[in-house]
Amino acid sequence: MKATKIDTSGKIWLYEPADHKTSHHGHDRTIYIGPRGQEIIAPFLASRPIGEYLFSAIEAERERNAKSPSHRRSNQESEPNLTPRKVGEHYTTASYRRAITRACKKANVPSWHPHQLRHNAGTYLRKEFNVEVARIILGHRAAETTDLYAELDREKALEAMLKSG
- Does residue 29 lie within any of the structural domains? yes
Q: What is the pLDDT of residues 77-132, one digit of tens each?
A: 766 667 777 777 788 888 888 888 888 998 999 988 888 888 888 888 888 888 88
Computed over every residue of the chain, the mean pLDDT equals 81
Q: Across residues 18-42, what is the average pLDDT?
A: 82
- Does residue 94 lie within any of the structural domains? no
What's the pLDDT band for 153 if we cut at 50, 70, 90? low
- Does residue 23 lie within any of the structural domains? yes
- Does residue 123 lie within any of the structural domains? yes
- Does residue 104 lie within any of the structural domains? no
Of the three residues 54, 78, 97, the one that is the final residue of a domain is: 54
How far lies 108's CA from each of 39, 65, 87, in Å?
27, 20, 24
Q: What is the pLDDT of residues 63-92, one digit of tens each?
A: 777 776 666 666 777 666 677 777 777 888
Query: What is the total count of domains within the chain?
Result: 2
Of the three residues 16, 34, 54, the one that is the final residue of a domain is: 54
- Does residue 45 lie within any of the structural domains? yes
- Does residue 102 lie within any of the structural domains? no
Domain enclosing residue 20, as ranges: 1-54
At 39 the pLDDT is 94
**If phi over 0 gives left and psi between -120 and 50 gives alpha, with beta otherwise, what is residue 76?**
beta
